[in-house]
């Protein structure tokens, strides 16, 4: 199996199980909490602080063009993007399954200012300087 196929299969495994992935990313399920502690040495408080720090560079009134890569299932960012209706947000992910979950979250939250693109962060499908900022 090629490396590309291994990565694709790993994304399918987690992306197809959004509740597992979301619980892990947010430390909100018993299994997610266990993985956070064992793999990342984080509890819910450290996880929340990490997320706050990761998003701290984006002003509360941001209205420019933002690239989120990778979007994953959108569990961490869709609620934030909901509060930035003037921003133009492009979400990129390698996994179509992860993006489908993120698109569903955007739809459920009524986030209309987000576009989704399937692609590889190593080979971005955008011209240089297409975005004002990027969110990991």
pLDDT digits (tens, 9 = 90+) for 73-98: 998 899 889 999 999 999 999 988 88
Confidence of residue 62 (pLDDT cuts 50, 70, 90): very high
- DSSP lists the bridge partners of residue 92 as 117
pTM: 0.80
**Is the pLDDT at 5 greater than 80, yes or no?**
no
CATH architecture under which domain 3-135 falls: 3-Layer(aba) Sandwich (3.40)
The Cα–Cα gap between 99 and 10 comes to: 14
Give the pLDDT of residue 2: 60
Query: What's the sign of the alpha-carbon dihedral 76, 72, 33, 110?
Result: positive
**Is the pLDDT at 25 greater than 90, yes or no?**
no
The pair of three-digit structure tokens given for residue 44, joined into one six-digit string: 């819910």
**Is the pLDDT at 40 greater than 90, yes or no?**
no
| Domain range summary for the chain, segments of one domain joined by + | 3-135
The Cα–Cα gap between 53 and 117 comes to: 25
């Amino acid at each position: 199996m090629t490396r590309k196929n291994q990565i694709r299969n790993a994304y399918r495994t987690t992306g197809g199980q959004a509740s597992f992935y979301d619980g892990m990313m947010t430390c909100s399920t018993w299994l997610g909490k266990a993985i956070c502690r064992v793999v990342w040495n984080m509890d819910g408080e450290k996880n929340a602080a990490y997320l706050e720090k990761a998003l701290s560079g984006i002003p509360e009134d941001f209205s420019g063009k933002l690239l989120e890569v990778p979007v994953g299932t959108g569990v961490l960012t869709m609620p934030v993007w909901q509060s930035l209706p003037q921003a133009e947000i492009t979400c990129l992910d390698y996994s179509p399954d992860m993006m489908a979950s993120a698109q569903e979250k955007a739809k459920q939250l009524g986030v209309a200012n987000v576009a989704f693109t399937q692609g590889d962060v190593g080979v971005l499908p955008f011209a240089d300087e297409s975005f004002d900022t990027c969110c990991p």
